[in-house]
Amino acid sequence: MDNFRFQFITSNGEVCKLTDKWKDNKKDEQLEIYRVNDKGKAMTTNQGLKVSEDELSLTGGVRGPTLMEDFHFREKVTHFDHERIPERVVHARGFAAHGEFQLYENMERYTKANIFTDTSKKTPVFVRFSTVNGARGSADTARDARGFATKFYTDEGNYDLVANNIPVFFIQDGIKFPDVVHSFKPEPLNDIPQASTAHDNFWDFVANNPENAHMVMWIMSDRAIPRSFRMMEGFGVNTFRFVNAEGEASFVKFHWKPVLGTHSLVWEEAQKLMGVDPDYHRNDLWNAIERGDYPEYELGVQIVEQEDEFKFDFDLLDATKLIPEEEVPVQIIGKMTLTKNVDNFFAETEQVAFHPGNVVPGIDFTNDPLLQARLFSYIDTQLIRLGGPNFHEIPINRPICPFHNNQRDGYHRMTINTGRVNYHRNSLAGNTPTPVPPEEGGYKHYEEKVEGRKIRARSKSFTDFFSQATMFWNSMSAHEKKHIIDAFSFELGKVKSKSVRQQNVDFFANVNLELARTIARNIGVAPPKSGGSSVTKTSPALSQLNTRKSAKTRKVAVILSDGFDGPSVKWILDYLKAEGLVLDIISEDLGIVKGTNGVQFEAMENVYTADPVLYDALYLVRGSSKNRRFNEKIARFLDESYRHKKTIGATEHGVEWLNVNKLTNKRGVITDGNAADFAKRFVEAVAQHRHWDR
Ligand code: HDE
């Protein structure tokens, strides 16, 4: 409770928690006027008429027909009939939270944007994480890229950094976006498979559109099955432009770096989680924020001076390429902290509308043809999804600064513009609202020199499709390479067309011959004889082995039954909690589990609900139990935790279980020592995330 320093009482007597981090948040103040709590209120129609009966419709006699005049029935059912809006055509499944951003370092040398020059300012943000492929109701842990879209409510207007957790994209030109999306969505004949690229159409697209080689390597990697939204990087993908007060420009790539490091699930775990807890990532984020474990991400920028535009062996305007961090370091310039869950999923998460074209002075675009297409698409899709041109008036989308112009009318207009003038130029309102000169904050597009013929052609600098795909492969550790091979073998193994399978191994031979040959052997097609790459370059920053490590917020399954050593277990659990680990006591039944010396804990999970895939680590104490189902569950916890490379700690009877399962003295399995020594080593082991060399 310590995190909640401020409380307020609502009109119907509820005590609300307000975190100190969330206090004085301007967006929250703005949203407050739209919040309505119906608890304790009289029921009315939408016209404010008090309703006397809400369960029986108006009928002609107790067994007679329902009457048309029952306006309450009609209003209630009509509203229900219209509750759904179209889901996003991509990124339909998402989850969001509020927070704030604070700058570490003044970036005025590169940009005049207020949020990147004023280190004292706390800018409210709203962040929506998403999967790309699956429908709104699909499972969280599907293999996919993740969206990571941030709306900064700045004093100069909304700035949207609409990012993904993978730094490159499938295609180079937005005109191909409908093609790639059609190919990875469920097949049109039967709408199968849901939220999965493991089908013929996608892999047919892959083998025949060579620019996607690099992105597909990332999708087959562990990056596509993140452990948590709190443990993924974010990348702006497209190259943007910073412009400073003198009008000088530089190129910029945006990065989010999670403070907890970048970590992934293993595939078997991800698959099981789709059934055990389809809301796994949602629960993880929601619960972390409710606990006060506020997710943190540092904002980084890679800046390339204008004159260095052509010094790379790829084109900066090509979204299938990344700038290796070893060539241009990521400068960390600020931190975002997510401090508050939404009050209403639909009103906030579903209705939020991001757009890469929402920029502020000091941030501008480049000619990246993918970015240019995005600048068209987002507003267009929101017009249909949110039903008209006034979606900027929906509370979650409103800027916190005032906005004035001569736009009027349209579906669901909320603003009541007073005054007669709705055009520019005018004399009746003194020619207001007035355009603002750039020196006073008006947005001015960077004056890039543009010339050329109108053509449909791509620059030759966009044609190296494989070098960075090979660099990615070269940069992976042994277990990451194995996971990539396994993922290809699963996905292509599901492809029915032998020709498509063969085309793909022949295609990926361009990335790495051994990779392609191994996949070929796993999926029953001829291993390619030629191909291979001469690229030896690596970028160590791409391997998740080199990420930050922390035991904080890791979930530990603590298996207990009556009779455990009370003082010792309590000491260990207190230590783990103090180190920031999150503990779930699992016992045979929900309720109290008793140890010696009067120590007792309340179990949160029982043998029916607990599952090893829900945890990062296992601490097995047990007491003594004759419950067969409990024993089976312990055996499964040990088997899966071990195979999924998780930390296993055991004391008391737990050690006997390790002996029986021949797990003692294995890496990441912690047993002996006194309580203090055991607890310390357990935390160190959990911080490793997984024990890959087990
Ligand atoms: Fe998007 N993208 N995108 N995208 N995108 C959408 O806009 C589009 C791309 C990304 O949580 C849509 O409001 C085109 C790259 C995120 O609400 C749509 C192209 C990146 C989200 C759209 C791209 C993204 C979207 C669907 C290629 C990483 C979810 C719903 C030219 C930098 C935002 C919507 C949220 C959503 C178009 C490529 C990120 C259709 C045409 C590259 C995180 O407008």
8 Å CB contact between 561 and 629: no
What are the Cα distances from residue 674, in Å, to 567, 579, 592, 668? 12, 18, 26, 17
Q: Note the pLDDT tens digit of each residue in 565-576.
A: 999 999 999 999
Band the pLDDT of 42: cuts 50, 70, 90: very high
Distance 259 CA to ligand 1 centre (A): 25
Average pLDDT score over the chain: 95
Assess whether pLDDT exceeds 60 at residue 83: yes
- Mutate-to-test residue for ligand 1 from 87, 90, 238, highest number of ligand atoms within 8 A of CB: 90
8 Å CB contact between 557 and 584: yes
Q: Note the pLDDT tens digit of each residue in 105-132.
A: 999 999 999 999 999 999 999 999 999 9
Chain-centre distance of CA 398, in angstroms?
23
Q: Note the pLDDT tens digit of each residue in 188-202.
A: 999 999 999 999 999
Q: Percent of the chain, pLDDT > 70?
A: 97
**Residue 24: predicted pLDDT:** 78
Q: Is 672 or 125 the better-scoring residue by pLDDT?
A: 125
| DSSP letter for each residue of 630-672 | HHHHHHHHHHHHHHTT-EEEE-THHHHHHHHTT-TT-TTEE--
| One-letter amino acid of 116 | F
Residue with CA closest to ligand 1 atom 3: 374
Assess whether pLDDT exceeds 90 at residue 672: no
Residue whose pair of structure tokens reads 């160190």 in the numeric block? 684
Rounded to whole angstroms, the Cα distance separating 505 from 497 reads 13
**Residue 171: predicted pLDDT:** 98
Q: What phi and psi values does residue 264 have, to the nearest 5 degrees?
A: -130, 165
8 Å CB contact between 659 and 637: no
Task: State the average pLDDT over residues 473-497.
Answer: 98
Give the number of the atom of ligand 1 that is nearest the alpha carbon of residue 129.
11
- Mutate-to-test residue for ligand 1 from 377, 385, 391, highest number of ligand atoms within 8 A of CB: 377
Give the number of the atom of ligand 1 that is nearest the alpha carbon of residue 164.
28
Residues pairing with 128 in the sheet: 96, 149
Q: Of 164, 209, 341, 504, which one is the catalytic site residue? A: 164
Q: Which of 211, 212, 173, 169 is nearest to 456 (CA)?
A: 173
> Whole-model pTM above 0.75?
yes
Residue with CA closest to ligand 1 atom 27: 174
**Residue 6: predicted pLDDT:** 42
8 Å CB contact between 295 and 285: yes
8 Å CB contact between 226 and 263: yes
Assess whether pLDDT exceeds 80 at residue 19: no
Q: List, chain by chain if needed, residues with CB within 6 Å of any ligand 1 atom.
A: 88-91, 94, 128, 130, 147, 149, 162-164, 169, 174, 177, 236-237, 319, 353-354, 370, 373-374, 377-378, 381-382
12 classed as catalytic:
no
Q: State the CB neighbour count (10 A cutoff) for residue 437.
A: 9
Residues pairing with 95 in the sheet: 129
Q: State the CB neighbour count (10 A cutoff) for residue 6.
A: 11
Q: State the CB neighbour count (10 A cutoff) for residue 542.
A: 24
Task: State the average pLDDT over residues 273-289.
Answer: 98
Give the number of the atom of ligand 1 that is nearest the alpha carbon of residue 148.
43
| DSSP letter for each residue of 336-364 | EEEEEE-S-IIIIIIT----TT---TTEE
Six token digits for residue 361? 């002075």
Element (H, E) at 490: helix 478-493
Assess whether pLDDT exceeds 60 at residue 21: no
Give the number of the atom of ligand 1 that is nearest the alpha carbon of residue 163.
32
**What's the distance, Cα to Cα, between the start and end of the chain in Å?**
39
Distance 676 CA to ligand 1 centre (A): 50
Assess whether pLDDT exceeds 60 at residue 12: no
Give the number of the atom of ligand 1 that is nearest the alpha carbon of residue 89.
26
Q: Of 25, 72, 91, 209, which one is the catalytic site residue? A: 91
Enumerate the H helices of 252-337 as residue ranges: 267-276, 280-291
| Minimum mean pLDDT range among 1-15, 105-119, 408-422, 436-450 | 1-15
Assess whether pLDDT exceeds 80 at residue 448: yes
Q: Note the pLDDT tens digit of each residue in 214-273.
A: 999 999 999 999 999 999 999 999 999 999 999 999 999 999 999 999 999 999 999 999
Q: Note the pLDDT tens digit of each residue in 639-671.
A: 999 999 999 999 999 999 999 999 999 999 999
Residue with CA closest to ligand 1 atom 34: 378
- For residue 386, the number of C-alpha atoms closer than 13 Å in the C-beta half-sphere is 27
**Residue 681: predicted pLDDT:** 97
Q: Percent of the chain, pLDDT > 90?
A: 94
91 classed as catalytic:
yes
**Residue 283: predicted pLDDT:** 98
Rounded to whole angstroms, the Cα distance separating 193 from 611 reads 26
Distance 36 CA to ligand 1 centre (A): 31
Assess whether pLDDT exceeds 50 at residue 462: yes
Task: State the average pLDDT over residues 633-639.
Answer: 95
Residue with CA closest to ligand 1 atom 16: 147
Distance 601 CA to ligand 1 centre (A): 47
Distance 20 CA to ligand 1 centre (A): 33
Q: Note the pLDDT tens digit of each residue in 331-362.
A: 999 999 999 999 999 999 999 999 999 999 99
**Residue 305: predicted pLDDT:** 98
Q: What phi and psi values does residue 219 have, to the nearest 5 degrees?
A: -65, -30
Q: Which of 635, 637, 645, 632 is nearest to 614 (CA)?
A: 637
Residues 6+ positions from 203 with CB-CB distance below 8 Å: 197, 491, 492, 495, 500, 501, 504
Distance 618 CA to ligand 1 centre (A): 39
Chain-centre distance of CA 80, in angstroms?
30
**Residue 624: predicted pLDDT:** 72
Element (H, E) at 250: strand 249-258
Distance 375 CA to ligand 1 centre (A): 10
Rounded to whole angstroms, the Cα distance separating 292 from 312 reads 44
Band the pLDDT of 18: cuts 50, 70, 90: very low
**Residue 20: predicted pLDDT:** 53
8 Å CB contact between 485 and 517: no
Band the pLDDT of 625: cuts 50, 70, 90: confident
Residue with CA closest to ligand 1 atom 30: 88
Give the number of the atom of ligand 1 that is nearest the alpha carbon of residue 169.
42
What are the Cα distances from residue 84, in Å, to 80, 306, 397? 8, 47, 19
Distance 88 CA to ligand 1 centre (A): 9
**Residue 623: predicted pLDDT:** 77
Six token digits for residue 94? 């998402």
Assess whether pLDDT exceeds 70 at residue 96: yes
Residues pairing with 258 in the sheet: 297
- The bridge status of strand 669-670 relative to strand 647-650 is parallel
